[in-house]
């Protein structure tokens, strides 16, 4: 282990600082979870453990309904954003216009949620008016509802929000792939698709899987864009926010916040542990394969 021998205390101090900072960033979340299990809620002097607030939450049909929409939206976002990120990353490797592509793919990260959400809202409202006009004047009834606010428009907002992450995660994994393997496969007679699917894809699968998990979590947690673009239905986070602003922070909002955080942590933690374990295993196998004959 590399250490700063000239100043071991500074080295240790930095580690402590780093872990404290991560802890401080996570502290509010854990504190919320802690409160959500207190029968007396926030600010009470006594702490009695209870599942009641979660029971209240699960008994609320509006919340359960919203959970269904959230999961549906999350699945649809993964199904679109991840392949899109993969295709864009493949394109990035071969195109001459790298700067244009990377700017386009990453730009949504830099536009704050309220701004992008409002721009999309006005855009879709305009498109919707145009479609209505076309439906009225030309009788094209089937296009009337294309851009009505609803699942589709919320999905566009979510894909725009998540695709930069999918793109970056997959691109980072791809940077470890050696393109000579594709060339080798092609010169052995594989088609472009075969070379991709049988040679490259198995090696970037981890990236695609983590991108899927991250996209799902980001979609699950998204509020502002969804709220602006969703039309009639509600997701878990929009219900939570309307609870918070309308009824103050009641105990079951703590339970909802706890649920969202725990699900996020489980998915992200699971992916991290899984991918680290995989790296560990690959390294072990590589070391075993590299052991010279007779030396073991």
Partner 1 sequence: MGGVPVAAGSWRRRVFGEEGLVRYVFLLPAAFMVLCFAVPVGLTLVWSVFKRTQFWMEPGLTLFAYETFFTSARAENFAYAMVHAAIAVVVSFLLGFPIAVFVRRRVPVSIQHRVILLFILPFMISELIRVFALRPVLARHGLVNEFLLQLGVIDEPISAILFTPLGVIIGDVMSFLPFMVFSGFLAMEAVQRYVFEVCDDLGAGALHTFKDVILPLAAPGIFAGSVFIFVNGLGVGLIPNILGGPGAVNAGSIVFESIVALDFPLAMAISAIMIVTLVALLWIGHWLFDLTRVLEPIS
- Hey, which residues between 39 and 78 contact partner 1 (CB under 8 A)? 42-43
Binding test (CB under 8 A) with partner 1, winner from 197, 270, 277, 281: 197
Binding test (CB under 8 A) with partner 1, winner from 192, 205, 242, 277: 192
Region near partner 1 per CB under 8 A, out of 62-70, 131-139, 143-151, 256-264: 256-264
CA–CA gap between residue 17 and residue 9 (Å, rounded) = 12
C-alpha closest to that of 179 among 204, 216, 212, 215: 204
Residue (248 or 292) nearer to partner 1, CB: 248
Interacting positions 5-44 with partner 1 (CB under 8 A): 11, 14, 17-19, 21-22, 24-29, 31-32, 35, 42-43
Total binding residues for partner 1 by CB under 8 A? Answer: 94
Interacting positions 126-155 with partner 1 (CB under 8 A): none
C-alpha radius of gyration, the chain, whole number: 24
Positive or negative, the CA dihedral 220, 225, 231, 234 is: positive
Site string for partner 1, 150-189 (x = CB under 8 A): ------x--xx--x---xx--xx--x--------------
Binding test (CB under 8 A) with partner 1, winner from 62, 145, 181, 191: 191
Smallest gap from Cβ 294 to partner 1, in A, equals: 28
Smallest gap from Cβ 96 to partner 1, in A, equals: 13
Query: In sequence order, which ranges of the chain are alpha helices (DSSP H)?
Result: 8-36, 52-58, 61-94, 98-110, 113-138, 151-174, 180-187, 192-194, 201-221, 224-229, 236-247, 251-290
CA–CA gap between residue 276 and residue 279 (Å, rounded) = 5
CA–CA gap between residue 172 and residue 116 (Å, rounded) = 26
219 near partner 1, rule: CB under 8 A: no
C-alpha closest to that of 256 among 244, 271, 267: 244
Residue (134 or 294) nearer to partner 1, CB: 134
C-alpha closest to that of 72 among 265, 234, 196: 234
Binding test (CB under 8 A) with partner 1, winner from 110, 202, 246, 288: 110
Positive or negative, the CA dihedral 33, 36, 41, 47 is: negative
Residue (69 or 167) nearer to partner 1, CB: 167
Smallest gap from Cβ 241 to partner 1, in A, equals: 7
Smallest gap from Cβ 141 to partner 1, in A, equals: 23
Binding test (CB under 8 A) with partner 1, winner from 58, 79, 109, 134: 109
Give the count of beta carbons closer than 10 Å to the beta carbon of residue 101: 16
């Amino acid at each position: 282990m590399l250490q700063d021998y000239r100043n071991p205390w500074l080295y240790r101090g930095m580690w402590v600082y780093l872990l404290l900072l991560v802890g401080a960033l996570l502290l509010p979340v854990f504190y919320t979870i802690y409160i959500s299990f207190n029968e007396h809620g926030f600010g009470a002097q006594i702490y009695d453990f209870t599942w009641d607030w979660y029971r209240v939450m699960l008994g609320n049909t509006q919340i359960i309904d919203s959970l269904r929409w959230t999961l549906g939206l999350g699945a649809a976002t993964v199904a679109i954003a991840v392949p899109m990120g993969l295709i864009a990353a493949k394109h990035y490797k071969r195109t001459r216009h790298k700067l244009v592509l990377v700017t386009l793919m990453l730009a949504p990260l830099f536009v704050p949620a309220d701004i992008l959400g409002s721009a999309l809202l006005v855009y879709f409202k305009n498109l919707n008016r145009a479609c209505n006009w076309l439906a009225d004047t030309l009788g094209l009834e089937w296009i009337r509802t294309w851009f009505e606010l609803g699942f589709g428009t919320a999905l566009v907002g979510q894909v725009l929000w998540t695709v930069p992450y999918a793109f970056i995660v997959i691109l980072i994994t791809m940077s470890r792939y050696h393109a000579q393997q594709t060339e080798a496969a092609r010169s052995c007679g594989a088609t472009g698709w075969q070379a991709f699917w049988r040679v490259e894809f198995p090696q970037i699968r981890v990236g695609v899987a983590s991108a899927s998990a991250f996209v799902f979590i980001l979609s699950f947690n998204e509020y502002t864009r969804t709220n602006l673009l969703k039309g009639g239905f509600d997701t878990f986070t929009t219900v939570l926010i309307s609870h918070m602003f309308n009824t103050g922070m009641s105990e079951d909002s703590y339970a909802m916040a706890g649920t969202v955080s725990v699900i996020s942590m489980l998915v992200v933690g699971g992916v991290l542990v899984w991918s680290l374990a995989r790296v560990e295993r690959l390294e072990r196998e590589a070391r075993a394969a590299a052991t010279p004959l007779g030396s073991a």
